[in-house]
Amino acid sequence: MKNIILIGLGGFIGTIFRYGIGKIFEKNIFFFPFGTFLVNIIGCFLLGLLITSLAKENNLLLNKLYLFVGVGFCGGLTTFSAFSMESLNLINDGKLFLMFLYIISSIGFGLLFCYFGIIFIKSL
């Protein structure tokens, strides 16, 4: 139950950060969604720091920090960080084809199903 609270609290804070950064960069800079780009990069950096720290030394405090920051905060801030880490894990496991398949299908199907959602709502 404590783990769920850590994740939930981290997710709450990450979501608020995402909203705040989005408001700061509400106007796209040079027609580029800089706010979303920024939260994705921050989330990837934080998750990379945590995963590397855990690999060096696995202790209870780092595990709790991972739940709070890695799963909760980064999860609320962005899911792109998990996507990036999973892609790197596939590379590290020597599964290059699977990594390319994962990246291409995630982006392709993500765009396709976003479009389907738009079409569905417009058809109502």
In a domain, 50, yes or no: yes
Residue 97 DSSP SS3:
helix
Question: pLDDT of the chain along its 124 residues, tens only?
Answer: 899 999 999 999 999 999 999 888 877 666 777 888 899 899 899 988 888 888 788 788 888 988 999 999 999 999 788 899 899 999 999 999 999 999 999 999 989 998 999 999 998 8
Number of domain units in the chain: 1
In a domain, 16, yes or no: yes
Tokens for 112, please give them. Answer: 């396709």
Tokens for 84, please give them. Answer: 């990036």
What's the pTM?
0.77
Tokens for 66, please give them. Answer: 């991972």
* CA–CA distance, 87 with 109 (Å, rounded to integer): 16
- Which residues span the domain enclosing 49? 2-78
The string of DSSP codes covering 7-64 is HHHHHHHHHHHHHHHHHHT-SPBTTB-HHHHHHHHHHHHHHHHHHHHHHH---HHHHH
Residue 79 per-residue DSSP state:
S
Query: According to the model, what pLDDT value does residue 60 have?
Result: 85
Residue 113 per-residue DSSP state:
H
In a domain, 111, yes or no: no
In a domain, 91, yes or no: no
Tokens for 12, please give them. Answer: 């709450």
In a domain, 17, yes or no: yes
In a domain, 26, yes or no: yes
Query: According to the model, what pLDDT value does residue 34 have?
Result: 84
In a domain, 104, yes or no: no
In a domain, 57, yes or no: yes
